[in-house]
Chain A
């Protein structure tokens, strides 16, 4: 679809030329994960036990960081008015924005996560499952995040507020994601956990753009 592709192209161009946004989220991910051994001590046993949770929490927090740029810039420079007047469904536009956001933040987070698992002595048997779980979970984070980002347009302290709103809603992703990794680490099948993540993704794809589009329309009223 021409408009969908135009949005993705523009968002990727902007992300590449204003590179720091995506890089900051990634660096934040690494820093947060690195803080845990400093906080709880470097014992391999302890770190391995918490590795799944720590990597996922780091990913969650890093994803939150980049959220308020999803619609904020358009809201500030007046482009949001024009986006809302799209001659094609606003929900599809939100989906395009989420996809671009995931390509710029979620995908790098997913790719770097096994490396961070290494830092925490994560059982190598779990790496593939970690990638699979992240591949399913990080898009859900972008989608739920889009709803939050659209709701806080024009609010005071929008950056912190969006995290407060979105983090509780991402608890299911956290729980299923971590349980998938831990199941793989002890040699049990991660199938059911991954399927639950997949179900969340399938539910989020139609529902989140719908809610975010409603929020965007309210933001321009």
Chain B
């Protein structure tokens, strides 16, 4: 891990890797979308609308994955004081928020043909919504301080508090859901995982992962550059 710790070295390696990872992401998403939207079978119950699952489900996975990344980076920052950890955390947060928003929007789009409403308070969508609030809170906190270092430290603690809460929140939302709705419906899922459906799903998940890495690297570079500019501003004339 410490080999990556030097910002200059990180930038150089990241710069070299970036085009390859970006290409792989593009390829994966393209093939996944082709298979999902065109080549795979429609569901006999839900018809063509099941195809939105190929975007919704990987988005929801990424929403959780990004939060885990946020938590791990925050722990790395607080416990081992890894120099790039807080940069990674702050870079990952908006990407995670974006995936969460996409999961919510595609969830709504999927629900509309099924139940005729644009939003339904099923357990998973509700949990994802609360996760969205957690992301927004993190981003707001990190940006609320005049001193960026203070924001990074506070955000790291908040991310860890959040990650401990996420299973508790999920449990309570599932509890709430079973209390208020009969067991009949409300699973925004593919009814059965047919192998032909699995392949595009996994390809989309892989593509999203690679996309995450690409955007993470770009954002980390941006954050490091901003820090350097700030350091340059602090250098007094004549030094």
Direct contact of A and B (CB under 8 A): yes
Does B168 count as interface, using CB distance less than 8 angstroms? yes
Q: Which of A164, A171, A200, A207 has the most CB of B within 10 A?
A: A171
Question: Contacting A172 at CB < 8 Å: which of B140, B158, B172?
Answer: B172
Q: Is the CB of B144 within 8 A of A218?
A: no
**Contact partners of B150 in chain A: CB under 8 A:** 154, 218-219
Q: Which 4 A-B pairs have the closest CB atoms?
A: A172-B172, A155-B144, A168-B133, A175-B172
Q: Which of A167, A168, A215 has the most CB of B within 10 A?
A: A168
Interface residues of A in 197-218 (CB under 8 A from B): 200, 207, 211, 214-215, 218
Given contacts A156-B145, A164-B140, 19 further A-B contacts (CB under 8 A): A151-B157, A155-B154, A161-B144, A164-B133, A165-B140, A167-B133, A171-B169, A171-B173, A172-B165, A172-B168, A175-B173, A196-B172, A196-B175, A207-B164, A211-B157, A211-B160, A211-B161, A218-B153, A219-B150
Q: How far apart are B22's CB and chain A's nearest CB, in angstroms?
A: 34
Does A99 count as interface, using CB distance less than 8 angstroms? no
Name the interface size band of chain B: 20 to 34
Does A179 count as interface, using CB distance less than 8 angstroms? yes
**Contact partners of B141 in chain A: CB under 8 A:** 151-152, 155, 161, 165
Interface residues of B in 164-210 (CB under 8 A from A): 164-165, 168-169, 171-173, 175-176, 179
The secondary structure that dominates the A interface is helix
Q: Which of A158, A172, A196 has the most CB of B within 10 A?
A: A172
**Contact partners of A165 in chain B: CB under 8 A:** 137, 140-141, 158
A residues lining the B interface (CB < 8 Å)? 147, 151-152, 154-158, 161, 164-165, 167-169, 171-172, 175-176, 179, 196, 200, 207, 211, 214-215, 218-219, 221
Q: Is the CB of B175 within 8 A of A175?
A: yes
Q: How far apart are A87's CB and chain B's nearest CB, in angstroms?
A: 24
Known contacts A156-B144, A179-B176, A211-B160: A169-B165 contact under CB 8 Å: yes
Q: Bound state CA distance, A157 and B145, in angstroms? A: 10
Who on chain B is nearest to A168 by CB? B133
Who on chain B is nearest to A164 by CB? B137
Q: How far apart are A182's CB and chain B's nearest CB, in angstroms?
A: 8
Contact with A along B135-150 (1 / 0, CB 8 A): 0110011001110001
Q: Is the CB of A151 within 8 A of B136?
A: no
Does B134 count as interface, using CB distance less than 8 angstroms? yes
**Contact partners of A154 in chain B: CB under 8 A:** 145, 150
Q: How far apart are A143's CB and chain B's nearest CB, in angstroms?
A: 11
